Structure 1
Amino acid sequence: MVPTELGVSRSELLLLGQHLVGEELLRRAFEDSPVASFIADGEGRIVRVNRALCVLLGHAEADLVGAGVATVLPSADGASWRRWGTGAGPHGLTRLETRCLRRDGSCVAVELTVSAAGVVEDAPAYLIAQVHDLSRRGAAERRLAHQALHDPVTDLPNRTLFLDRLERGLRRHQHTGALLAVLFMDLDRFKQINDSLGHAAGDQVLIETAHRLREALRPGDTVARFGGDEFAVLCEDLDDESTAGEIAARMLRVVSEPMDVGEQRTSVHASIGIALARGGSDGESMLGDADFAMYRAKEKGRNRCEVYDATLRADALARMEQTSALRHALEESELRIVYQPLLRIDGSAVVGVEALVRWDHPTMGLLGPEHFIGLAEESGQMVQLGMWVLREACREVATWAPPPGGEPLLLSVNLSAQQLAGTGLRDSLRTILGETGLDPGRLWLEITESVLLDDVDAAVEALGRLRDLGVRLAIDDFGTGYSSLSYLRRFPVDAVKIDRSFVTGLGRDPAADAIVAAVVNVSRALGLTVVAEGVETDEQLVALRALGCEWAQGYLWSEPLSPTAAHRWIRARRPEVVAGRPLELGALLAQRVDALRRRTDRRVLLEVPSSLPACFADAVAVRIVVDHLLANAATYSAADRPVVVTAAADRRAVRVSVSDFGIGMSGDEVARCFEQFWQARAPDSPRTGGVGIGLFIVRSLVEAMGGHVGVRSAVGRGSTFTVVLPRSAWAAARVHSVQGGALDLGEPSSVQEFMRQIGVPMRGRR
């Protein structure tokens, strides 16, 4: 040991320094600890506090040091403090829950941990107290309890909490008899939003939907989210069963209102099933019943509600069996492809085929798509089914030889909404084209108009990706969304297919005439091919030709055929010759006048010479012309005056005149009455189309047969329409050579105005 000047060795100084450093470290650890702490002597006087305790209680250090522990712990007097210390022992701990007093007089629940430090005469010299704030722990526990019973995305009650409330409600129902209902709601096609806009956008839709449901429901109702796109609502104390339906209708209305999702504006719809509490109902069975009813609502067209009844469960079980059977059909090759020919409207050539799927059911026979496409969509099998059709059709048609003297056949295949919204369609399509060897330019993909209009921006992007592969695109069932005419120029498509419902109405429904004419004009102005589907009669075909439609398909030519039969039909097909033939006009006029007399009380006078010679014309076209002129005359003639039909002939032509003595037309109306979108005056109120479209068809048909039509009219004195038809093929051919062929789009004054109104510029075909 080496002495120092003070008589203290270096080792003693080192030990002293280490002791002082240790004390400083302990002091800092105590003062800086996040746990509120204080030290008191055996008599209960506070000798030291840390910053965390001062913050917790709102005191300054000087307020507490030297004060009794009762200043901090109201329940702790000197005796209890000593008892806590004695109970702790020299190395033990005492834990208890108590309350600390804050400076502002409020109390906070705490857990107190007391330990002894040092012993004097077998008693602790000091006690160290750690104070744990239980209010924070309580909040955390409450937060965890809330999370266990609520949906993390929408903060709505989850299935567990909903079932608990439902069971409580059912017990009340059994005691009081108050009516109770469960409404099970599923968003329609929600997966498309996730696939096209992303899951963040999907969550935003769920949050907004939850908010709207809260606002739409009664204060005592419970709305919960079960996961995915499923919501459930518990309604108690209903006035009657119809109240549940009213609540469901309100839910559908608020959910379907447009919402902003990021930079997109979109709309969602929902289907709702309703189950009402019956004797002996339990929560799980009610949810199952409501779920069955919801699926029935989807089957009936979505965006609607259905109430559960006993037959629904049996139907749902049958549906499950059908779903399993369809899955088996896909795996065991029970599906078949049939082909319907696609022809030029003049019958001159077969241009392609549309591939359609059938199910060769082992017990029910050959089923059309209406029996299983909806099932495939609901069960998630639509993409698999659609890709199978696409692959098989490409493989088969790629091996077919072109028609005699014709071009290679086009193949038209339908794409479902689920296929279009999927992420792998483009790659799968490229693979199929590569494997089958089909030229991409021969493949037409059809997408229904309603799918495109659900989200125009997403549709434009998806179609663009497909078109980059070289395939062609067509809008199917066009016309069902009439407002979509203005959107048409945005879609990168090559053709539109007019919905069969409008083709069926041609010549009978003025609205159908107007819509078909509008679709043809807009499509041709944009350079798109126009295809009519569902053509079944000669009258429809003649009207479509007159309006300028280019291609058509339907039972008028052929039903959908097996691959072998379709190929044989196409190779045996010979071009049609569209020509007139001698027609006894007198007999036809008498027949059409009799038909008018049977359906109207108007007097009709027919003045036709018995020696009226035949004309050279198409009987179907002449019948359409005469029927329209007679219907117009009956509509616009005066009630007390007859409609007069006369006929005469010279050596080149036969003339038929239809006269009324009604409201007549002005000079401007006479000049424009054959335009497609001329606004005619009805007896009671103005109307657009109908007469104008019909007269355009009349003029088109007459001129296509080598004739012409004229009109004389005066306001208040009536109108006379005269149709002149050639008596021979030579006369018809001579007129055609002078006219120079088929008509153009129509009179520019009306067509261009129509285009301007819907925002479509006129331009040549591309």
Structure 2
Amino acid sequence: MFRPASRRLRPGRRLLAPDVAYGPLGVLTIAAGVFGLSYLAVVLAPPDNGVAAWWPAAGLATIALMWAPRDRRAVVVASVVIMSALANLAVGRPWHVALGYGASNALESAVVAALLTRRGRPRLATLDDLFRLVGATAAGVLVMGVGAGLTQLLADGAGFLVTARTVVASHGAALLLTLPLGMRAPGGTGRAGRLEAAAQLAAVCVAIVVIFRPGQGLPVSFLTMPLLVWGALRFGVKVVSVELIVVALLVTSFSRFDGGPFAAEFGATSTATASLVQAYLVCCALVTLPLAVSIAQRRAALARSEASERLFRQGFRDSLVGMAMLRLCDGAHGPGEEAHAEGGLDVVQLNDVAARMLAGDPAALVGAPWTALLAEPDRHELAARVREMLAGTSEGWHGEVAVATPAGDLWVDVALSPLAASAGENLFVAQMVDVTARRAAEERLTAQAQRDSLTGLANRSRLHGEIDAAVAALPPDEADGGPGVAVLFCDLDDFKDVNDSAGHTEGDRVLVRVAERLRTLLGPDDLAARLGGDEFVVLRRCARDRADVEQLASAVLAGLSAPIVVGGHGFTVGVSIGIAWGGPGASADDLLRDADAAMYAAKAGGKRRAVTFSDEHRARAVRAVRVEAELRRALELGQLEMYLQPVVDLRDGATVAAEALVRWRHPDRGLLEPGAWLDVAEACGLMPELGAWILRRSCELAAAWPQSVAEVTPAVHVNVSARQLEVPGFVADVHRVLAETGLPPARLVLEFTETQLDTVSEALLADLATLRRAGIGLAADDFGTGYSPLTRIIELPISMVKVDQRFVAGMLDDVRSQAIVTTLVRLTDSLGLALVAEGVETQEQAQALQMLGCTAGQGFLWSRPVPADVFHERLRGAVLR
């Protein structure tokens, strides 16, 4: 239906505010205009049936309704009914006929206005907008024709078809001619001047006077077409619309008083003359309006292109990074430069930053061989990439190269892209950033990057790499009991007492002594690492058997049990050890996780001991087998249920989306949340099947939600597991589910955890981009809990960020949490991304989020997750309200 004027018009574009334009005086003005135009049209109507040649009042009423505020539409509709009826009464029609015509006029305007404002502002800037105008006009005049025909039939018992046909043509011509004046359309006189516009309009008027003057009967009405086409090609849509109305007024007036070929043939008072006038006006509109709109659209495209080119040149010149335009050279520039000729690039133009970077005179650098400045390996690499770009197999290249300059060698980060053929043959643009200082800093830090700064042992990063390398070096696991990788996770017992009693400085010295003792216990192929705090790891790259590992653990227990003397004080620290054994196919994350779990078991068992992970792992495996079997049966028997938690607009509390959450109604254990069984589903490979069921069920529920005419129906958020993404055809499955359930893509949001997004492959990135182009929303869930940089938001095709609830919960008391939320609000706003705050539980949190600029939230403040039918009923209640 119609949209409020306040949502469609920018304040700077309004002539009058809605409360003024549609106040008492404004409505009276509209009513007077409708009456005057209606009366004039009826007076000029042929007497044989009394139907006007065209009805400009229909255009005025429709324009008034298109821009009317919601609370003033009823007044406008009533004014149209009353004034149209009064105009018909004034020329002698019975009151019931006049009232029927008035009601039909109002219904026609309402239908046309509703169709033109269904997608936002009524505008006439493209051919699609013009087709929409023609379609809306056709629908409106059909309603008017049926209404007028039925009115005449009920009044006289005949005349339905004649009246309907004549009214359809009359109102169709009027709407096509007048509605463009009330729509957003390119105005002005295009590229022509006002003098030419005035001359063209005068020529049109003269031609109309000559063709349709009284007594002129020659069939030369087509002579106005070249003049109208002249206007369509040279002037804006608004100017053409005004000219068409002028033509309509002149042609109608002259034809009504025996002027022109139509009246000469059929008589001024004949319905046939009126029909020919209507057809003539419609033809003029259908010829000139598409031309004017097409030309205006073309002018806008050219203007955007010119603006883009100006921006490019300005950006090239004023860029804060080095910019150079390069051209493929056609040969060597001198002796010894043969290598440059093959795939080499010459400088065509460069900005001041690039000239300073290359430490040369800008004038001297233009035309010089840029690639000849590169080191030989970089030159050959770049030449190969240039050939790929010329062949069309690559869209660009980004890398770091070493450049020789008069001031010395420097490292330059280069982004090279080919320019379009329209810009010139074999042209490239290069963006250059001097990264010499950064490279030097990286080289200085490389030595420290693999080492713990306090103890000198390996750090976590190096440990991960060493474990993976050790696993990769293992021989194939042909039989149980063969060699393997052993990880010993060592956590000092009661080390907190050392810090509390002697201070952190003495505690650090104790850690250094612990590291020294560990070194004495290592074999030639062993590695010791410190993960942080009082956590150490010993890696045996190739343990002969498990007894070998147990012997190493015993040596560590004994070596760290003796007192450590620091600063004249003796400290006794024991150690709890968790042991994980890895064979071929193991990973560093798995082994460290298993060893960490075993270490906690050692702590729980009394400390100062070693526990092998395999014991606890067996217990978990038994549980996993049991839960897996029950979960597969639950999928077959339909024991899984969908719960929904609303996502609300913080500004008005309206539900804008809902997150789909799965629950398991276990026959013995009752309703189970995912935390009780989802880990088993992930481990046993059930997630693709379970995820597919969740996706389909969520879309089915969302497709059945009640739709509101005035508001957008909520979207559904569906969590996607990493296991689902590993299955080929995930994108096709999503599209198939949407097609089969009938859910629009724009109402589906797929949620991925930040950890998943941090490990996105190139193939998966392409799949996500495909989903995004289809209109499906992509959300980064629990954002802020991982280790990915904020720049990851830019690299991924996401449309929404969901702030983790721990930051929302702490933002009122913790300045760090508030800073994180504030940063995400500003970042997503600047990138045009939606932001949802999770875990909102208090009104104070909601108000604080709204003050920061966050517009959507989710949490117990509004609702806990509820069954799907409960959520459906709540939506239905909201729609009925």
Q: TM-score, normalised by structure 1?
A: 0.40
Greater length-normalized contact order (CA 8 Å, ≥ 6 residues apart): 1
TM-score of the superposition, structure 2-length normalised? Answer: 0.35
In terms of fraction of residues, the more strand-rich structure is: 1
More helix as a share of residues: 2
